[in-house]
């Protein structure tokens, strides 16, 4: 692990997080948004693992939390896509900006 300074990996996960955030904000398709959220979660996971390896006392905590984060990500995708399916069935569209009943 000493091969790469910690800063480089953190910069990398920051960039990954930024790309995910950009994707979430700009994509019209809800599935596209869900995919970008996955990217952000993964960026957080990388940070967890890197910190666990370099700085924390008990090295397992990072990886255990990473496993929990993956489980939560699976939950978000499952429920998110169930909503997308129900939406598609009733409205025939899955574009975020077309689903605007609440807007006046």
Partner 1 sequence: MEILTLAAKIGAYALMTGVLLFALGVVALRNLFHSALCLAAALIGIAGLYLFFRADFLAAVQILLYVGAVMTVIIFAIMLTEHLSGKTTIQHNRQSLPAFLGIAALVTVIAKVILQTPWPVTQKALGAHTSVEGIGTALMTVYVFPFEVISVVLIAALIGAVIIAKRENPS
Q: How far is CA 54 from CA 6, 9, 57, 60, 102, in A?
A: 8, 12, 9, 12, 48
The least CB distance from residue 33 to partner 1, in Å, is 11
The least CB distance from residue 102 to partner 1, in Å, is 17
The least CB distance from residue 104 to partner 1, in Å, is 19
Give the residue with the Cβ less far from partner 1, 65 or 101. Answer: 65
The least CB distance from residue 15 to partner 1, in Å, is 6
Give the residue with the Cβ less far from partner 1, 60 or 103. Answer: 60
84 contacts: CB under 8 Å, gap ≥ 6: 30, 31, 34, 94
Place of tokens 């953190």: 10
Place of tokens 């666990």: 52
Give the residue with the Cβ less far from partner 1, 60 or 101. Answer: 60
Beta bridge partners of 95: 29
Give the residue with the Cβ less far from partner 1, 97 or 104. Answer: 97
Place of tokens 């699976």: 74
């Amino acid at each position: 692990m000493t091969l790469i300074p910690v800063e480089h990996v953190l910069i990398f996960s920051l960039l990954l997080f930024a790309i995910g955030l950009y994707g979430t904000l700009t994509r019209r398709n809800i599935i596209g948004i869900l995919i970008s959220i996955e990217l952000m979660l993964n960026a957080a996971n990388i940070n967890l693992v890197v910190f666990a390896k370099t700085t924390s006392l008990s090295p397992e905590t990072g990886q255990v939390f990473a496993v929990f984060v993956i489980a939560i990500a699976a939950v978000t995708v499952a429920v998110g896509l169930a909503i997308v399916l129900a939406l598609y069935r009733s409205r025939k569209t899955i574009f975020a900006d077309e689903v605007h009943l609440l807007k006046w």
